[in-house]
Amino acid sequence: MEVNVKLFGDLREGRFKEEKTQLEENSRVIDIINKHNLPLDKVAICMVNSCQAEFGQVLQNQDTVAFSPPVGGM
Amino acid sequence: MKIYRVNMSKLSFVAEEVPDEWKVLGGRGLTSVIVAKEVDPTCHPLGSKNKLVFAPGLLTGTMAANAGRLSAGAKSPLTGGIKESNSGGTAAQRLAKLGVKALIIEDIPEGDKWYCLHVHKDGVEIKEETELLGKGNYEVIHTLTSRYGENTGVLTIGQAGEYKMSAANISVKDPKGHIRSLGRGGLGAVMGSKRIKFISLDDNDGKGVEILDKEKFKNAAQVFNKGLLSHPVSGNALPKYGTNVLVNILNEAGGLPTKNFRMGQFEGAEKISGETMYDTIMSREGDPTHGCHVGCVIRCSQTYNDKDNKYLTSGFEYETIWGFGAGCTVDDLDIIAHVDQICDDIGIDTIETAGTMMVAMEAGILPWGDGHGMLKLFTEEIKKGTSLGRILGNGAEFTGQAFGVTRIPTVKHQSIPAYDPRAVKGIGVTYATTPMGADHTAGYSVTSNILNVGGHIDPLAKEGQIELSRNLQIATASIDSAGLCVFTAFAILDYEPVSHALIDMINAQYGTNWSVDDWFDQGRYILKTERSFNEAAGFTKQDDRLPEFFSEPVPPHNVTWDFTGDELDQVFQF
């Protein structure tokens, strides 16, 4: 299956802003993290289709998964 | 320390002893207590009975990092209720070094003259001012720096404050000579009503801050300062991208208010994002990270240059970029930077004015997405004080009413900031219930709703949001009283050693014996004081509600604002 992966902040460094990724059926969020070598302590926010998701969430074809490092602001 | 009291009718100054009950108050705690005590809640905010109070925080002027914030308070001409606004810059530390616990400005001059105040080690001089009248804040700061020296602190109003526009702010000179803002609630108009153009601060030979147990303070400060640097948000994320890193996050979460709160996502989000801003700053040789006051270790501010690598603006914040960007459907970061610069120069709140521009576009005064047209409304109308300019300068609600617009995003007449309350429900509760009006910093629920700091509470559901907003409003009132930058909250609330170090510093400086809970009790007291003032000013439960149109669903989640009045009224049950 194919999912759309978005990276924010300095997770983009040495990687990409937005890219399609091929995965096995029933893959989870953690599989994308591993595939793109995202350091676990640098993934503070994870969203699947604009909703907060846990690393164990199972993905569907054409899902959009976004990752952000720890950020703050106001 | 002393209370400095200036009377603009008698043109007099007196230094008073600090009353016992004010000795362990500072910042917002002190401004709100003084306003509640000395200002008639039913007074006209631009009349002689309103008072403008400035107060550095409890820890200001010490070696505690990020403790250089100044609070300003009054009855707000925008909300009609009590207002506290705080800012970094050069003012708070100079007042603290001079031993000024609070500067209270009361009454109104007879006659037509304008004045300026000069604060130094012997007190306050009140002088007539003509040269800088009608000038923008950048020119005021530049002139005073030449006149009195690099080390001079400055508080100034631009043309907007002179016109007494309800969205006018008070500007503070920062260590680079640029501008920070006591932004919200029209305090610039209050300063203008007292016909004070600027306040200059010379802290030479000031006695400095008194600390009872210096050794204990130093040890605690070291723990505190290290703690700020060790937190991933205050130690890493904010220095690199500043607050504007939030554009892409909120856009992804479906909570970035777009086209006056019609949608939660904006097609042009990437173009105005923190990542794009960082790349632009670097390619134009700007400065991507600096602090807004000496002693800041978080350094969330930056300098944004134009295409010719010349200084354009600084302190370029998420709220400003969201508001003039996604809110108005403008996707050109350079135009928004020009808008930021002119807002700083004429001294007007960017959040309020962004809401105003959204409403102006609703009204058809200019097309959606017309960035150049928006800039022109600043240069040709607001800055010049034309009839249209005076309408716009009075904020989103005033503008909406003038043009028959019903879709006006305000609470207590103040414009709603950069998070859709339907998709980020915790911040919606804060918007509705804080005594400050629609204010996001007052109880920043976005931490748990979106950023996963201090746990996670689903932003799309009602569960847990009332408690979250309440607890954050209490904690923030306490932090605002310490003179601390609100970004210290991440480390304070996440790391117990940091919150304990904070209390140790206060106890060491003032000889108190507080626990963390005692400190939060002060926050509760401040909130209750503010609410009582608002009630006496005529506010009711109906003022703790969001505008009607938020019952519409907002895409992509198609969520609505569905808190009942009874639920919202629970926030202040403590």
pLDDT value of position A74 = 82
Residue B9 has pLDDT above 90, yes or no: yes
Q: Give A-chain residues touching B458 at CB under 8 angstroms.
A: 52
pLDDT value of position B239 = 83
How many of the other CB atoms lie within 10 Å of CB of B524? 16
| Contact B427/A at CB under 8 A | no
pLDDT value of position B334 = 97
pLDDT value of position B282 = 94
pLDDT value of position B444 = 96
Could you tell me the two tokens for B288?
């991507």
DSSP secondary structure letter of residue B261: T
Residues B566 and B556 in one domain: yes
Give the per-residue SS3 of B277-323.
Answer: HHHHHHHCCCEEEECCCCCCCCCCEEEEECCCCCEEEECCCHHHHHH
CATH of the domain at B304: 1.10.569.10
pLDDT value of position B238 = 84
Amino acid sitting at position B131: E
> Which residue among B318, B456, B556 places its CB closest to the CB of A50?
B556
Residue ranges of B 317-356 with Cβ closer than 8 A to chain A: 317-319
Average pLDDT, chain B: 96
> Which residue among A17, A47, A72 places its CB closest to the CB of B237?
A72
Q: Looking at CA atoms only, how far is residue B486 from chain A in angstroms?
A: 9
Do the domain assignments include residue B359? yes
- Inter-chain CB proximity A68 and B236 less than 8 Å: no
A2-36 residue pLDDT tens: 999 999 999 999 999 999 999 999 999 999 999 99
Do the domain assignments include residue A44? yes
Residues B99 and B218 in one domain: no
What mean pLDDT do residues B387-393 have?
A: 98
pLDDT value of position B241 = 83
> What is the domain range of residue A42?
2-68
B240 pLDDT band, cuts 50/70/90, is confident
Residue ranges of A 13-72 with Cβ closer than 8 A to chain B: 17, 44-45, 47, 50-52, 66, 68-72
Instruction: Please give the Cα distance from B330 to B405 (Å, whole number).
Output: 21
B73-98 residue pLDDT tens: 999 999 999 999 999 999 999 999 99
CATH of the domain at A63: 3.10.20.30
Q: Which of B172, B201, B230 is the last residue of a domain?
A: B201
pLDDT value of position B48 = 98
> What is the domain range of residue B477?
212-238+421-574
Residue B234 has pLDDT above 90, yes or no: no
On whether the CB atoms of residues B63 and B77 are closer than 8 A, the answer is: no
DSSP secondary structure letter of residue A44: -
Q: Give B-chain residues touching A54 at CB under 8 angstroms.
A: none
Output the CA–CA distances (angstroms, integers) from residue B276 to A41, A45, B222, B248, in the order listed: 24, 20, 35, 10
pLDDT value of position B242 = 85
B171-209 residue pLDDT tens: 999 999 999 999 999 999 999 999 999 999 999 999 999
B236 pLDDT band, cuts 50/70/90, is confident
Q: Give B-chain residues touching A74 at CB under 8 angstroms.
A: 243, 317-319, 440-441, 444, 486-487
Q: Give A-chain residues touching B246 at CB under 8 angstroms.
A: 71, 73
Give the per-residue SS3 of B364-413.
Answer: CCCCCCCHHHHHHHHHHHHCCCCHHHHHHCCCHHHHHHHCCCCCCCEECC
Output the CA–CA distances (angstroms, integers) from residue B349 to A74, B33, B183, B460, B490, in the order listed: 15, 24, 5, 29, 25
Do the domain assignments include residue A74? no
pLDDT value of position A72 = 84
Residue B237 has pLDDT above 90, yes or no: no
What mean pLDDT do residues B104-133 have?
A: 97
Residue B453 has pLDDT above 90, yes or no: no
Residue B233 has pLDDT above 90, yes or no: no
B32-49 residue pLDDT tens: 999 999 999 999 999 999
pLDDT value of position B531 = 98
| Contact B229/A at CB under 8 A | no
Residue B307 has pLDDT above 90, yes or no: yes
Residues B55 and B197 in one domain: yes
The residue assigned the tokens 């109070």 is B53
B363-388 residue pLDDT tens: 999 999 999 999 999 999 999 999 99
pLDDT value of position B465 = 98
- Give the chain B residue nearest A12 (alpha carbons): B275
> Which residue among B252, B459, B487 places its CB closest to the CB of A66?
B252
Helix (H) or strand (E) holding B513: none
pTM above 0.95, yes or no: yes
With residues binned 3-state (H G I as helix, E B as strand, rest as coil), the percentages for chain B, rounded to 5, are 45, 15, 40
Q: Which of B392, B419, B446 is the last residue of a domain?
A: B419
Do the domain assignments include residue B206? no
| Contact A74/B at CB under 8 A | yes
Give the torsion through C-alpha atoms of B296, B298, B304, B305, to 10 deg. Answer: 70
What mean pLDDT do residues B455-468 have?
A: 97
- Give the chain B residue nearest A66 (alpha carbons): B252
B516 pLDDT band, cuts 50/70/90, is very high
What mean pLDDT do residues B254-260 have?
A: 98
Do the domain assignments include residue A73? no
Looking at the structure of chain B, the number of domains it has is 3
* Strand pairing report for B51-56 and B70-75: antiparallel
B479 pLDDT band, cuts 50/70/90, is very high
- Give the chain B residue nearest A51 (alpha carbons): B253
